[in-house]
Structure 1
Amino acid sequence: MKNVLLEEFSPICRARHLSRFYILPDPAYKQSVKQRMEDILNQQNPTFVVPSTI
């Protein structure tokens, strides 16, 4: 029953309920975040990648 109620929440409310720190509004943002984090870990200036859904 609890999972059924979570499906009714907006993505932000669901993420908050699950104690997620980062909330990505669309799965397309994952590639942008991945590229930025890889740049930072490689001690490079972060690259800004525009998600394909924008």
Structure 2
Amino acid sequence: MMAQQTFESYKPIISMTLLQQILLMGPDEFEIVDTVEEIALWGINLEGVAGSFAL
């Protein structure tokens, strides 16, 4: 059974700054996450990396 999510515990599925970047792009463009700063800013977890950890 899933715990009930409250307003205080709500976290968007996608970072609002990442969504903003995506919406500013054209239909033939895509965002490439290529820096550690972007990974940390957008709350992305890396998987499959030896010794991986959440930033």
Q: Assess same fold via TM > 0.5.
A: no
Normalising by structure 2, we get a TM-score of: 0.31
* TM-score under structure 1 length normalisation: 0.32
